[in-house]
């Protein structure tokens, strides 16, 4: 029997919040298999065996080509989002996987998500937009609609994917994009993994947009989704049971600022946020919440600055010379180069006053960034044939696509693709 798999992505210091999410999922979806994509490494002495997830994998286990150098190029938010499609690929390769849901670690579920699961019976990809109706005043247009144009129409605090041909094709495409371009660079039209999903309706056929007001409720849509609470029904949104709420920007204080601005007509939203605040305060005393991000410093304990990552990302020669740049012990390490030759080649980056503008200038020209010497091959034709046997929808879709390739490129084109071990 095919199972529902649900995962989130976080570093060790966020695991206490992950507990809130997964405990809520255990309550409402006890049948689900729960996973943590760990954008970190577990430090010695930390035991995760009693955490409320069934499986955990870090970047070294996700079949990411030359993952060490690649991980170095990312901030903590970029890395946590970049590994999402790679974990998704792992889940879709499991024999027991029928459907996959991703939820951000700062979300909590309040009822079952059966309407989303039913949508995945027909569509391979389900998405939730930030907004489901136009804003009514110019201030909200600026805060929300224009913000969506910069950061993405769909909120990637959630995505649902069915284990179908279309789902696997999407996951591979998404992983290919986040490998090179998971960057928080809105000046380049990029916002981590999220902005890429704006292309899904244009590039893929079997997708569905979940426009129910009960899902992905957050401060950016509270003005049109008033929350009410009573002791019998719990939290409801526009007359429907609250599905999941996204406490985005909670630690920075941004959530409370926007709640005060857009939650004035929803006093029970303040009740909900106050509950989360109490729970988060309890979790703040957990030793895990104070664990230092493994990829935030060199092996000598020195913090990695943003411009250290940018230089490495843009210099393929340095990637080749220092394949694991976190190691700062040796005299010929990337850190040693940076503190000597790097200061000579990039003096403005080492000047605190000039560094921000120089980083912006350097990032204005989009390059592929980290470039592995040896890319992992795509699935072989045998893997596709096996999937076709397991999933009739996959077999039919693959047959149709093979037919289109033969019509356009001939049998030799189909065989050439199979020889390259790439998806047809």
pLDDT tens-digit map of 220-233: 899 889 999 998 99
Any idea of the CA torsion for 217, 218, 221, 223, to the nearest 10 degrees? 100
Model confidence pLDDT, tens digit, residues 253-279: 888 888 888 777 778 999 999 999 999
End-of-domain residue from the set 172, 193, 213? 213
Confirm whether 207 is domain-assigned.
Answer: yes
Residue 105's closest CA among 80, 87, 73, 122? 80
Same domain, 401 and 332: no
Model confidence pLDDT, tens digit, residues 127-169: 999 999 998 889 889 999 999 999 999 999 999 999 999 999 9
Is the sign of the CA dihedral 104, 106, 107, 108 positive or negative?
positive
Model confidence pLDDT, tens digit, residues 66-95: 999 999 999 999 999 999 999 999 999 999
pLDDT exceeds 70 at position 113: yes
Same domain, 337 and 407: no
Same domain, 401 and 304: no
Nearest-5° angle of CA 397, CA 161, CA 390? 45
The CATH number of residue 48's host domain is 3.90.550.10
Model confidence pLDDT, tens digit, residues 158-177: 999 999 999 999 999 999 99
pLDDT score for 392: 62
Structural domain containing residue 387: 381-419
pLDDT score for 401: 64
Are residues 91 and 83 in contact, defined by beta-carbon separation less than 8 angstroms?
Answer: no
- For every residue of 311-326, DSSP letters joined together read HHHH-HHHHHH-SSTT
Model confidence pLDDT, tens digit, residues 11-47: 999 999 999 999 999 999 999 999 999 999 999 989 9
Residue 383's closest CA among 18, 92, 153, 56? 92
Model confidence pLDDT, tens digit, residues 391-424: 565 566 667 666 666 776 766 666 665 554 444 3
Q: What is the DSSP letter of 338?
A: I
Same domain, 359 and 386: no
End-of-domain residue from the set 213, 245, 280? 213
Q: Count of domains in the chain?
A: 3
- The whole-model pTM stands at 0.88
Residue 83's closest CA among 105, 59, 55? 59
CB-side exposure of 156: number of CA atoms within 13 Å?
A: 22
Same domain, 192 and 318: no
Same domain, 57 and 150: yes
End-of-domain residue from the set 184, 213, 242? 213
Same domain, 112 and 48: yes
Are residues 276 and 283 in contact, defined by beta-carbon separation less than 8 angstroms?
Answer: no
Average pLDDT over residues 304-317: 98
């Amino acid at each position: 029997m095919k199972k529902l798999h649900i995962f989130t992505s976080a570093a060790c210091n966020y695991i206490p919040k992950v507990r809130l999410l997964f405990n809520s999922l255990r309550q409402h979806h006890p049948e689900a298999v729960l996973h943590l994509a760990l954008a970190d490494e577990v430090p010695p002495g930390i035991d995760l065996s009693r955490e409320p997830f069934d499986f955990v994998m870090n970047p070294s286990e996700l079949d990411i080509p030359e993952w060490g150098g690649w991980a170095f190029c990312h901030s903590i938010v970029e890395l946590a989002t970049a590994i999402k499609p790679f974990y998704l690929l792992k889940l879709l390769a499991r024999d027991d996987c029928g459907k996959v849901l991703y939820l951000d670690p700062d979300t909590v579920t309040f009822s079952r998500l059966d309407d989303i699961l039913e949508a995945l019976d027909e569509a391979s990809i389900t998405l939730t937009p930030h907004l489901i109706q136009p804003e009514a005043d110019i201030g909200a247009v600026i805060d929300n609609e224009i913000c969506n144009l910069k950061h993405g129409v769909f909120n990637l605090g959630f995505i649902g994917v069915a284990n179908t041909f279309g789902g696997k094709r999407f996951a591979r495409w998404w992983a290919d994009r986040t490998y090179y371009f998971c960057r928080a660079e809105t000046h380049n039209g990029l916002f981590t993994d999220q902005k890429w999903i704006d292309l899904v309706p244009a590039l893929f056929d079997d997708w569905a947009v979940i426009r129910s007001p009960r899902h992905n409720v957050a401060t950016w849509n509270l003005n049109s989704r008033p929350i009410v609470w009573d002791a019998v029904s719990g939290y409801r949104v526009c007359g429907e049971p609250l599905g999941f709420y996204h406490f985005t920007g909670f630690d920075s204080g941004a959530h409370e600022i926007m709640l005060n601005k857009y939650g004035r007509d929803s006093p029970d939203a303040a009740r909900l946020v106050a509950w989360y605040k109490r729970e988060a305060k309890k979790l703040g005393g957990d030793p895990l919440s104070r664990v230092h991000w493994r990829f935030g410093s060199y092996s000598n304990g020195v913090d990695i600055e943003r411009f250290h990552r940018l230089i490495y990302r843009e210099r393929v020669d340095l990637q080749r010379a220092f394949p694991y740049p976190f190691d700062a012990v040796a005299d010929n390490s990337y850190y040693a180069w940076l503190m000597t030759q790097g200061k000579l080649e990039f003096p403005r980056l080492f000047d605190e006053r000039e560094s921000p503008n120089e980083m912006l200038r350097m990032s204005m020209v989009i390059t592929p960034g980290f470039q592995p010497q040896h890319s992992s091959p795509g699935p072989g034709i045998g893997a596709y044939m096996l999937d076709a046997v397991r999933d009739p929808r996959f077999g039919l879709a693959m047959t149709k696509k093979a037919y289109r390739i033969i019509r356009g490129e001939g049998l030799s084109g189909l065989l050439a693709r199979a020889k390259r071990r790439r998806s047809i």
